[in-house]
């Protein structure tokens, strides 16, 4: 196979190999093997690992919460308040853990989210039950002590009646959730018995208040101040009786014995919310703006000195919300997240917690201001990220909402100059090394045999002198052959045939000499002159 064919085959092989490898080289999987997947499966080696997020604790926590309600209500019913305090603290801690887990695992939209909302309300109800039961016991004791003092006795009875009503309302709200909670418990194979028992315990605690009322001579009629119970002289009313987040409800009333300027304390769900004063007509009023309060039934009452008003109820209805998210680049690594949280009617939700969920996992918290606007600068790694703003409405009479998912491309820190400096130094170093290596042969005492071409050029620069006059033709030809061989830098061991193969441009000369040398032919004068010209550096074609 000749040289050209070999070269063609090698070139073709090289091109083929390059083409095949180039086809693969363009596949991004070689360089960015992340989230490799098809419709049927994913490559686990390329999928980002993440912490399970304690997901396996979710269902056991639900079980614990249900169990805790049974324990707590039992200790309240048994009036073991020390244990009840401890149980309530434990229940609150478990609820906090559960709330965090629900948000972290992003399951607010499921029945587990429903369980969480109900549990939150149950926690409020059981906290109130413990406080009310304890206060009610105090009142029972007081009632015995102040018998004979009509005014003080009436005061105790008023407060007792207020508490009785409140506990009855609280029980109604608690019992209302039993069906739904039991359904969820059964779905997750949880033990609902303690929770069902808690409803019974709650009922017994509430009934104890009703029993005391009958015992002191009150009726059993329902409604605010209904039946035969003594009506408090301190009146109270909430108008309107229904409201939503952002609305203002007027809590107002009169007291015949109220002196102008005397204080009136307003309680919502047993917590004092404001102290106002009586005017000249013995009336008072307080504008209650619906803010962070759970949706559902609530109780309001007032106290003026030792006099308790009756209990007024009002309903807080839920509202839908909407939250927006806008992203803006702050610098190469930080992104500004801004948005508004409002009710569906456009009322801003103020001082409310907002969560920013990054890439479906990491949570960053922020808060709205007085205009319902939030702003948060977050630092992200280079690459594309998805963000979503979420409002979980914990403790608000609002429904949860989340923004559209937004995508941002973070450029990341500028490239460090160090690798470039290192690469530049490497190039310079390599160049310097190669330069030295090239120069070394000249400096080296070891003399290497120069390449044929170098020798040809060297010899060509110094044309040899030759004189063939007077020599026999065949000896003259030999002298010219040696002259040309020397001029071309060929070794003396080279035969005419070797020389013809090595220097094809002078092949005619060497072949002719081969015939003279070995075939015994005698060159003519004309041939010798031509050979002399070529040997001394003339036109080889002339030979």
- Which spans of this chain sit near other proteins (rule: CB under 8 A)? 6, 10, 13-14, 16-17, 20-21, 35-38, 40-53, 55-56, 58-59, 105-107, 109-112, 187-189, 359-361
> Given the complex with other proteins, which of 47 and 423 has the nearer CB atom?
47
Q: Shortest distance, CB of residue 112 to other proteins, whole angstroms?
A: 7
> Given the complex with other proteins, which of 14 and 382 has the nearer CB atom?
14
> Given the complex with other proteins, which of 106 and 143 has the nearer CB atom?
106
Three-state DSSP class for 55?
helix
Q: Shortest distance, CB of residue 38 to other proteins, whole angstroms?
A: 6
> Given the complex with other proteins, which of 26 and 462 has the nearer CB atom?
26
Q: Are 446 and 485 in contact (CB under 8 A)?
A: no
Angle of CA points 207, 211, 216, to nearest 5°:
150
Query: What does 341-378 look like in DSSP terms, one character per residue?
Result: EEETTS-B--S-EEEEEETTTEEEEEE--TTSEEEEEE
Q: Show Cβ contacts of residue 539 under 8 Å, excluding neighbours closer than 6 positions.
A: 533
Q: Shortest distance, CB of residue 184 to other proteins, whole angstroms?
A: 10
CB atoms within 10 A of CB 517: 16
> Given the complex with other proteins, which of 76 and 380 has the nearer CB atom?
380
End-to-end CA distance of the chain: 32
Q: Are 195 and 181 in contact (CB under 8 A)?
A: yes
Length of the chain: 543
Q: Are 216 and 143 in contact (CB under 8 A)?
A: yes
Q: Shortest distance, CB of residue 23 to other proteins, whole angstroms?
A: 8
Q: Shortest distance, CB of residue 49 to other proteins, whole angstroms?
A: 6
Q: Shortest distance, CB of residue 10 to other proteins, whole angstroms?
A: 5
379-382, Cβ contacts within 8 angstroms, sequence gap of 24 or more: 379/333, 379/334, 380/333, 380/334, 380/335, 380/408, 380/410, 381/333, 381/410, 381/412, 382/333, 382/410, 382/411, 382/412, 382/413
- Whole-angstrom Cα distance, residue 2 to residue 6? 7
Q: Are 137 and 79 in contact (CB under 8 A)?
A: yes
> Given the complex with other proteins, which of 106 and 534 has the nearer CB atom?
106
The HSE-up count of residue 495 (CA atoms within 13 Å, CB side) is 8
> Given the complex with other proteins, which of 131 and 182 has the nearer CB atom?
182
> Given the complex with other proteins, which of 33 and 326 has the nearer CB atom?
33
Q: Shortest distance, CB of residue 427 to other proteins, whole angstroms?
A: 25
- Whole-angstrom Cα distance, residue 282 to residue 120? 39
Angle of CA points 199, 267, 242, to nearest 5°:
75
Q: Shortest distance, CB of residue 431 to other proteins, whole angstroms?
A: 23
CA nearest 53: which of 404, 315, 361?
Answer: 361
């Amino acid at each position: 196979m000749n040289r050209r064919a070999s070269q063609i085959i090698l070139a073709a092989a090289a091109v083929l190999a390059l083409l095949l490898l180039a086809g693969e080289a363009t596949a991004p999987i070689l360089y960015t093997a992340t989230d490799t997947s098809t419709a049927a499966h994913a490559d686990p080696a390329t999928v980002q690992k993440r912490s399970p997020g304690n997901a396996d604790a979710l269902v056991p926590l639900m079980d614990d919460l249900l169990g805790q309600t049974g324990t707590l209500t039992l200790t309240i019913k048994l009036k073991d308040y020390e244990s009840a305090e401890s149980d309530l603290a434990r229940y609150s801690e478990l609820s906090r853990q559960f709330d965090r887990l629900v948000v972290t695992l992003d399951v607010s939209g499921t029945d587990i989210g429903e369980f969480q909302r109900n549990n939150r309300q149950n926690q409020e109800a059981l906290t109130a039950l413990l406080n009310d039961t304890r206060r009610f016991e105090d009142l029972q004791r007081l009632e015995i002590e102040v018998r004979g003092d009509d005014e003080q006795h009436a005061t105790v009875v008023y407060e007792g009646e207020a508490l009785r009503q409140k506990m009855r309302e609280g029980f109604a709200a608690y019992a209302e959730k039993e069906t739904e909670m039991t359904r969820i418990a059964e779905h997750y194979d949880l033990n609902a018995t303690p929770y069902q028992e808690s409803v019974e315990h709650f009922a017994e605690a509430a009934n104890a208040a009703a029993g005391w009322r009958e015992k002191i001579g009150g009726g059993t009629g329902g409604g605010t101040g209904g039946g035969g119970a003594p009506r408090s002289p301190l009146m109270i009313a909430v108008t309107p009786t229904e409201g939503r987040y952002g609305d203002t409800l007027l809590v107002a009333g009169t007291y015949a014995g109220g002196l102008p300027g005397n204080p009136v304390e307003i309680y919502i769900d047993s917590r004092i919310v404001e102290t106002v004063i009586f005017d000249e007509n013995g009336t008072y009023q307080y504008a209650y703006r619906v803010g962070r309060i759970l949706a559902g039934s609530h109780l309001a009452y007032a106290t003026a000195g030792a006099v308790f008003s009756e209990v007024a109820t009002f309903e807080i209805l839920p509202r839908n919300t909407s939250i927006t998210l806008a992203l803006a680049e702050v610098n190469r690594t930080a992104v500004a997240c801004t948005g508004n949280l409002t009710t569906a009617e456009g009322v801003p939700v103020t001082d409310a917690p907002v969560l920013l969920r990054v890439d479906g996992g990491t949570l960053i918290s922020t808060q709205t201001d007085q205009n319902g606007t939030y702003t948060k600068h977050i630092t992200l790694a280079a690459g594309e990220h998805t963000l979503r703003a979420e409002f979980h409405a914990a403790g608000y009479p609002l429904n949860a909402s989340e923004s559209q998912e937004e995508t941002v491309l973070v450029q990341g820190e500028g490239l460090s100059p160090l690798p470039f400096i290192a690469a530049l130094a490497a190039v310079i170093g390599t160049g310097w090394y190669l330069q030295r290596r090239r120069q070394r042969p000249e400096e080296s005492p070891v003399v290497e045999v120069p390449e044929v071409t170098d020798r040809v050029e060297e010899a060509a620069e110094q044309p040899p002198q030759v004189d063939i006059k007077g020599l026999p033709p065949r000896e003259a030809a030999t002298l010219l052959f040696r002259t040309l061989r020397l001029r071309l830098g060929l070794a003396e061991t080279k035969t005419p045939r070797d020389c013809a193969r090595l220097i094809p441009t002078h092949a005619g000369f060497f072949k002719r000499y081969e015939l003279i040398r070995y075939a015994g032919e005698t060159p003519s004068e004309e041939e010798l002159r031509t050979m002399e010209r070529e040997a001394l550096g003339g036109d080889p074609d002339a030979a």
